[in-house]
Chain A
Amino acid sequence: MALDEKIKNRITLSILSILAIVVGFGAAVYSIQTWKNSSQENIGNWQTIGKDEDVNSANLLSIAQLAIYATYPLTKKEVIYLNTSTDSDGNAIDPKSDYIIKGKKLDTRYWSITAYDQDGFLIKNPIEKYSYNFEDVKYEKDSASYKINLSSTKKDENWLPTVGAQKISLVIRLYQPSDNLRNNLTVENLPVIQKVK
């Protein structure tokens, strides 16, 4: 009887230990999938890595998330990345709706805005256009501001297609930004995403 009790206890201990391992593993997977961490900083609807952090010195969670969802980033000294999957009102970008991305030239050596699908890959489209950058975006008359049409239907100018995507995320890359931009990265400097239809 005593032996039975001992075996029963050992089985219970083993099951609970396995459960603890599963809980630890599951919590880590869940944390990674949320794509949220303490290293992140929000600037309006855009997210970037916080002022006191960097991609190679951030916490374990942040490094794991970057490894899966944004593999091989460069440090902030070289590039600032900003990403969003919502419009400026905070609503998820709907691939079937039309949006205008309004922005101004950024004081950086190279900047671009790229659209990605639900898996983080480029979106197949008839004009083979996946991003706009400082050289190929068509500016307004003031030669400084621009409007990009994020839409699944054809537009005459600055069309960034979302054809066939289930979810959309946008990434801004700022390569070698000026110190002024680096220190004043505010909502006012970043593009606004407005739903129009």
Chain B
Amino acid sequence: MAARKPLIRKGIFALILVVIAVAFYYLTLWVVPYYVQSKIASQRSPGVNTLRFAERPSPEKNRVVPLPNPDFLYSSIDYDVKDGILKISGKVPDSTYWSIATYQANTTNFFVANDDQVDGDFEYYLAKEGSTSALLKNIPKEKIIYSPTETGFVLFRYLISNAYPFNRLVDLQHTVKIEKLGE
């Protein structure tokens, strides 16, 4: 009986080691997307809650985010809604693909609207999930985007097409405005 004790102890310890290995496997998979988002955001300028107008994707200029679509003109915002709400507004093209998509801090997409769903002008209010801010009181529900995380990323896609060549889209791209509203 006494001889079996060390054997049981070794078995339990081996099991603990397996649990540690499995836990670190899943922990790494969970952490990686947050790390990627944070690393990409740190390489972008200007900083948070500011609009960034990208140029047309090219081999020289697009070396940070993989798989850029050369047919798209992109605009983006690294957001932080910890202390407030972001009002994002602008114009939508009438005959080429356009979309606004929001990504939480682990890079997964949680909201998207395209030009088929929005006519002419768009206006969205980005707030953290569960926000009870009085500023949202009179805003129609469909205009509020609740972010599951305090930080994240907004990405606009404009399709460069025959109807909307590059220069025309650049003008449209610059109609987008971002305003930080109080708590």
Residues of chain B within 8 A (CB-CB) of A109 are: 97
- A133–B159 Cα distance when bound, in Å, is 11
Interface residues of A (CB under 8 A from B): 13, 16-17, 19-21, 23-25, 27-29, 31-32, 55-56, 60-61, 63-64, 66-75, 77-78, 109-110, 112, 114, 116, 119-124, 128, 130-131, 133, 135, 171, 173, 175-176
B15 to chain A, nearest CB (A): 11
Q: Which 7 A-B pairs have the closest CB atoms?
A: A24-B24, A120-B66, A28-B28, A67-B33, A124-B59, A20-B20, A24-B21
- Total residue contacts A-B, CB cutoff 8 A: 145
Which of A17, A61, A78 is packed against the most chain B CB atoms within 10 Å?
A: A78
A135 touches B162 (CB 8 A): yes
Interface residues of B in 78-127 (CB under 8 A from A): 97, 99, 101, 103, 106-110, 112, 114, 116
Residues of chain B within 8 A (CB-CB) of A176 are: 97, 114, 116
* Bitwise interface map of B from 1 to 41 toward A, beta carbon under 8 Å scored 1, else 0: 00000000000010001101111111111101100110010
The verdict on A64 contacting B33 (CB below 8 Å), with A114-B69, A121-B63, A124-B59 known, is: yes
- A70–B99 Cα distance when bound, in Å, is 18
The verdict on A71 contacting B97 (CB below 8 Å), with A112-B69, A121-B63 known, is: no
- A119–B64 Cα distance when bound, in Å, is 10
A74 touches B18 (CB 8 A): no
B30 to chain A, nearest CB (A): 6
Residues of chain A within 8 A (CB-CB) of B21 are: 20-21, 23-24, 27
Q: Is the interface of A mostly helix, strand, loop or mixed?
A: mixed
Residue of chain A at shortest CB distance from B23: A24
- A121–B69 Cα distance when bound, in Å, is 10
The verdict on A67 contacting B106 (CB below 8 Å), with A24-B25, A60-B29, A122-B68 known, is: yes
A75 to chain B, nearest CB (A): 5
If A28-B24, A28-B25, A131-B70 are given as contacts, then 8 extra A-B residue pairs at C-beta distance below 8 Å, sorted by A number, are A24-B21, A25-B28, A31-B29, A63-B29, A64-B29, A72-B101, A124-B59, A130-B57
Complex A-B: 8 CB contacts under 8 Å: A64-B29, A64-B33, A66-B33, A74-B112, A78-B112, A121-B62, A122-B62, A130-B57
- A92–B174 Cα distance when bound, in Å, is 42
Residue of chain A at shortest CB distance from B18: A20
B32 touches A72 (CB 8 A): no
Residues of chain B within 8 A (CB-CB) of A123 are: 59
- A71–B70 Cα distance when bound, in Å, is 15
